[in-house]
Amino acid sequence: MSTVVAVDVGGSGLRLVVQRDGVAGDPRRGVGARVGASGLDVAALAADARTLLDAEGVDAPDAVCWSMRGLLFLAEPAEVLRSVAAALRGRRTAVVSDAVANLVGALGAVEPGAVVAAGTGAVAFGSDFGEHWTRVDGWGHVLGDRGSAAWVGLEGLRAALRARDGVGAGSPGLLADAEGLLGPCETWPRRVMTGADAPEALASVAPLVTAAAEAGDDVAAGVCAAAGRALGESLLAAAAGLADPRLVATGGLLSASAVRRELEAVVAGVGARVEPAVGGALDGALLLAARLDADGALPGHPRYVHVAGA
């Protein structure tokens, strides 16, 4: 019996799934990413995953793929690989950036393509799993994440404050709606600039902006269109140089028609189209774990993919 394990670690939690002889079980959930003074507490996360594996009756799986948000910025990949391999005891172990797992899951295969993910943040990633590995954006709500829910929320608050100040391009409707959500506008700067949950607070405003756009608010509609253009540009930048890539977009913000429509228009402008995503990061990690078990190796990259035991 072949047993492979996929783990996806993100801000909202650790998810793990076990696949036995090609049949995947139900995902199990652990705690979210733990960030301390020295970065991610990978040992604690790996211990959580070990507990979940013990509950599944799995001692030493044939292959493990560990997908992790923050692999490039918050952790040392080689140390993550050592911790994961020791705790989960896989015969073969891979540690990959969640950008890689997102792309494989979105495509449903390990083949050339690019994906843009528009959640609280925004990042695009493209690869042929050979020579081409390109990440675009993902710089956070202060420096980037163009077209994300946090970005849309920030632009919505800016439009609301222009209305409050009586200058052009303001939206009185967004001012009223955002004050109903976040309280008086005088409290907004501290909340969205220094609050620990600033990205989430900004993202919570995005549904107000997309709803206002649907209701005919021209300023809100302009924000949504700009978000779609930014996401489309990031997707194309991630795919640049790939031969006939598949292009995929994911994320809750794309349920807003004004955002999705502009994204698709940008991609159509270069003669391409956006496909629906097949799956997510956990699905991608499971595909990679199965491939690692079958082939004994994965396409390696010093920043995105590290493998032990191959």
pLDDT at 5: 96
Are 285 and 226 in the same domain? no
Are 152 and 252 in the same domain? yes
Q: 36 is written with which tokens?
A: 């301390």
CATH of the domain at 19: 3.30.420.40
Are 171 and 254 in the same domain? yes
Are 171 and 258 in the same domain? yes
CA atoms in the 13 A half-sphere facing the CB of 171: 27
Are 72 and 164 in the same domain? no
Residue 130, in any domain of the structure? no
Q: What is the pLDDT of residues 189-216, one digit of tens each?
A: 999 988 888 999 999 999 999 999 999 9
Are 171 and 253 in the same domain? yes
Are 89 and 24 in the same domain? yes
SS (H, E, C) the chain: CCEEEEEEEECCEEEEEEEECCEECCCEECCCCCEECCEECHHHHHHHHHHHHHHHCCCCCCEEEEEECCCCCCCCHHHHHHHHHHHHCCCEEEEEEHHHHHHHHHHCCCCCEEEEEECCCEEEEEECCCCCEEEEECCHHHHCCCCCHHHHHHHHHHHHHHHHHCCCCCCHHHHHHHHHHHCCHHHHHHHHHCCCCHHHHHHCCHHHHHHHHHCCCHHHHHHHHHHHHHHHHHHHHHHCCCCCCEEEEECHHHHCHHHHHHHHHHHHCCCCCCECCCCCHHHHHHHHHHHHHHHCCCCCECCCEEEECC
Are 163 and 260 in the same domain? yes
Share of the chain above pLDDT 70, in %: 94
Residue 198, in any domain of the structure? yes
Residue 113, in any domain of the structure? no
Are 12 and 46 in the same domain? yes
Residue 133, in any domain of the structure? no
Residue 310 pLDDT greater than 70, yes or no: no
Are 300 and 261 in the same domain? no
Question: Which range of residues forms the domain containing residue 204?
Answer: 140-268
Domain count, the chain: 2
Q: What is the pLDDT of residues 217-247, one digit of tens each?
A: 999 999 999 999 999 999 999 999 999 999 9
Residue 73, in any domain of the structure? yes
Are 252 and 156 in the same domain? yes
Mean local confidence (pLDDT), 149-162: 97
Residue 120, in any domain of the structure? no
Are 260 and 286 in the same domain? no
Q: What is the pLDDT of residues 68-90, one digit of tens each?
A: 876 656 667 888 899 999 999 99
Handedness of CA 153, 103, 138, 238 (dihedral sign): negative
Residue 11, in any domain of the structure? yes
Residue 188, in any domain of the structure? yes
Give this prediction's pTM.
Answer: 0.89
